Structure 1
């Protein structure tokens, strides 16, 4: 049922597909949903909490808690392949996969961002931030289209 809850900042994907829902624990009649914000101070967390609570109540679950955990921190590697594909289909270049031992390299990430429209690697970053803090603006020199890139975290 939580797979139906949309990410309020990117409504084409779900909070489970984004990897925000870390666990669902059921003990007798109590349900605990464990979530991790995509980044510290994410403004969508209140709306995500409210949407989870609404979905649980719609399914006659009244005894529940929603617990936010910050450790381990969320990473774009937790996104499902389906979510990555949905981002690409909607014109948002999905993030590269990042292995734990590569996290420090993110500070100087020089990987090529492929255009989600035409597949060209002839792209350039035009702004560090897009419509949300987790996305950057890019431009494709191949098809002359602007697009957003979901930054690796």
Structure 2
């Protein structure tokens, strides 16, 4: 990896998610690859959290803006749909940041299908919660309510 590629990767990796600004696109596992040729052209690959995610156009624009502002002459962003993104690509740091922000992080994916009876409230820690709506502030999250502290919160769906 060249010093230039490392710099381009760091710029891309540090880009905050527009819907969840406490985590970066690298934290979420959306950033797949950043390559650069000897003429300063940068190619970035990103994967949406789900097909049709409205944030992808904003992320693409933000990547181009950040990299061209850093002096890269030509930046293109490619949406990579396979393999499909999974919440297993999120870093443990991202899950901690989400919880601190008030969004219940997803559990692990794979293996036996987990029956999710409750989600721990990111406000008070109670498991006395209920799903209010299958869709929260975005389609990749569901809306839950804590019976203990009565606060609503988003839960990032595991997939």
- Please indicate, yes or no, whether the TM-score normalized by the shorter chain is above 0.5: yes
Alignment of 1:102-121 (within 5 A): 102=112, 105=113, 109-121=115-127
TM-score, reference length from structure 2: 0.86
Match of 1:95 among 95, 106, 121: 106
Q: Which runs of 5+ in 2 are unaligned?
A: 1-10
SS in 1 for 2:25: coil
* Distance across 2 between alignment mates of 1:147 and 1:64: 37
- Work out which of the residue numbers 17, 21, 24 in structure 1 matches 2:31: 21
Residues 65-84 of structure 1 mapped to structure 2, 5 A cutoff: 65-84=76-95
Q: Which ranges in structure 1 are unaligned for 5 or more consecutive residues?
A: none
Q: Deviations over 1:1-41 (max 9, x none)?
A: 12331211112221111111111122323321111011101
Q: Which residue of 2 aligns with 1:10?
A: 20
State whether structure 2 residue 64 is matched by structure 1 residue 53: yes
Structure 1 runs of 4+ with >3 Å offset: none
CA distance in 1 between counterparts of 2:75 and 2:62 reads 13
Residues matched between the structures, number: 148
Q: Pairwise CA RMSD of aligned residues?
A: 1.5
- Provide, for residues 100-131 of structure 1, a one-character-per-residue CA deviation record: whole Å limited to 9, x for no partner: x45xx37xx42531111111111110111111
TM-score by length of 1: 0.89
